[in-house]
Amino acid sequence: MVAVSEKGTESGRTMGLPQATALILGSIIGVGIFNLPYSLAGIGPISIVAMVLTTIGALALAIMFASLSRRLPADGGPYAYARAAFGNATGFTNAWSYWITAWAGNAAIVTGWVFYVEYFINKDGVTGWSIVIALVGLWIPALVNLVGTKSMAAVQLWTSIIKFIPLAIMSTVGLFFISTGNFTPWNVSGQSTIGAIGSAMAICLFSYLGVETAAVAADKVRNPDRNVPKATVFGTLASAVVYLLSMVAIFGIVPTTQLALDENKASYSVAANAMAGSGHWAGDLVAAAVIISGFGALNGWTMICAEMPLAAANDGLFPQSFGKISSRGVPAVGIIASTVLASVAMVVSFLGTSGATVFNTLVLMTGITAAIPYAFSALAQLKWRLQDRRELHTPRFARDAGVAIVALIFSILFVWYSRNTGQDHWYVVWGPFLMAGGALLIGVPVYLSMRSRMAAPPPVPPYR
């Protein structure tokens, strides 16, 4: 468990159940869902099936993390579970992998966020200006986080409320504007049905990254053994409902051929204008709400970017500079380092390609690096529950073991399908694996330098 003078005390726990749930909602509902129709247009409406299956996987992860956080409410979430179950080497690998997920995820979020900012400015998508806009989107949330956790929590709560509005409207009113003819052709990817669904699922996973964020920041949540599980399940369920209904509405309102056009990257705004029937006022309002939504997601994920290295540094697995707390009570080094890396990943992606391919490459990269700690969390749950069974302590054994198996299967599938299908060049197709592999290899010298200073993993508490 993390033991730092300003952490783990009630004065350091600034988030109650509403704020923790807002962290989950704000982290899950960023801009991923708002960019999915554009990203999935090359696959087709069959992507709705992929979203249903991804939702099942996300709910399995949410229930699993709720159970794990009740047993081990440690700062660091997936990293802490892997370390306690399998030792420091596995713990470091998971911490490093999740940290990549966090800052690369911010690069993906800000890339999708730019799509909606450019609904108003830089409408021609000039790459240089896109990069400038993205840098602004990354560094303002970093400054908010550097000011302190209370400011971050307040921003998170209000942006979570605002971002729900366009999703709620699309999930209810939008259903009345569906034209069933827009659901055909069902699969335009050129792949088999299973291949198309698998490829779409790998992209859809990004929209659910964040189910674990309350567990990662457990040391900042009041009564974490009670509030973290509740926030995890409540936030994921609320996200799932609006995700599924709004996806059905978008594909039913706007033909797939139109969703695939670069000028329609802001697909929710395009659908809103189609519903309004005249003018652009509805699309303008939706675009503004998505911009606020993206800012909230960047704000929350910037905190998570620093929390994982903070927890690892306090256990001796990361350099000690990541464990230092500023006068504002935040891990400033982790915030700044993560934002710098996100900026580099974003710039490299923009220079290499454009449009949906930039977003999808970053999305698939984060899917790979997120699936690693997700899978090890599932393995940790299975290990501990099997030990419980040998000790004849079996409450909810079948549920927990079954959910962990589903989460493990989905984690493996997400890695398997994380390729840029339909691209001409092999380095674009395998780009997500190349980027993820390169980022993971950078961690090898860090692990070797920190190995002798690592503290022993904590004992695992009994099942509750």
pLDDT at 342: 92
- Supply the CATH number for residue 205's domain: 1.20.1740.10
Please give the Cα distance from 110 to 164 (Å, whole number): 19
Helix axes 267-276, 149-172, angle to 10 degrees: 50
Q: Measuring CA to CA, which residue among 87, 130, 157, 75 is closest to residue 334?
A: 75
Give the range with max mean pLDDT: 151-155, 266-270, 401-405. Answer: 401-405
Residue type, 250: I
Main-chain phi, psi angles of 146, to 5 degrees = -65, -25
Contacting residues for 406 by C-beta, under 8 A, at least 6 apart: 56, 57, 60
The tokens for 198 are 């698998």
Residue 459, domain member (yes or no): no
Per the structure, the complete domain to which residue 411 belongs is given by 10-453
Handedness of CA 401, 244, 286, 349 (dihedral sign): positive
């609320």: which residue's tokens?
A: 238
Handedness of CA 44, 50, 51, 52 (dihedral sign): positive
* pLDDT (mean) for 69-88: 84
More confident residue, 155 or 87: 87
The tokens for 4 are 């730092």
Handedness of CA 91, 97, 100, 104 (dihedral sign): negative
More confident residue, 388 or 33: 388
Residue 249, domain member (yes or no): yes
Q: Measuring CA to CA, which residue among 328, 333, 268 is closest to residue 294?
A: 268
More confident residue, 385 or 300: 385
* pLDDT (mean) for 198-216: 78
pLDDT at 176: 92
Q: Measuring CA to CA, which residue among 275, 286, 328, 334 is closest to residue 310?
A: 334
Residue 261 has pLDDT above 90, yes or no: no
Confidence of residue 9 (pLDDT cuts 50, 70, 90): very low
Contact 97, 393 (CB under 8 A): no
Confidence of residue 79 (pLDDT cuts 50, 70, 90): confident
pTM for the model stands at 0.80
Residue 279, domain member (yes or no): yes
What DSSP line would sit under 7-58, residue for residue?
SSSGGG--B-HHHHHHHHHHHHSSSHHHHHHHHHTTT-TTHHHHHHHHHHHH
Q: Which residues pair with 221 in a beta bridge?
A: 15
* Among the ranges given (7-21, 67-81, 242-256), the one the predictor scored with the smallest mean pLDDT: 7-21
pLDDT at 435: 85
Contact 301, 33 (CB under 8 A): no
State how many domains the chain has. Answer: 1
* Beta-carbon count within 10 A of 181 CB: 8
End-to-end CA distance of the chain: 17
Please give the Cα distance from 367 to 386 (Å, whole number): 28
pLDDT at 7: 42
User: Within a 13 Å sphere around the CA of 207, how many CA atoms are in the beta-carbon half?
Assistant: 29
Percent of the chain residues topping a pLDDT of 70: 90
* Among the ranges given (166-170, 355-359, 403-407), the one the predictor scored with the smallest mean pLDDT: 355-359
State the average pLDDT for the chain: 83
Residue 135, domain member (yes or no): yes
pLDDT in tens, 110-128: 888 888 898 888 888 788 8
What DSSP line would sit under 321-372, residue for residue?
GGG---TTSS-HHHHHHHHHHHHHHHHHHHHH--HHHHHHHHHHHHHHHHHH
* pLDDT (mean) for 33-39: 83
Residue 460, domain member (yes or no): no
pLDDT at 290: 84
Residue 4, domain member (yes or no): no
DSSP state letter for 74: -
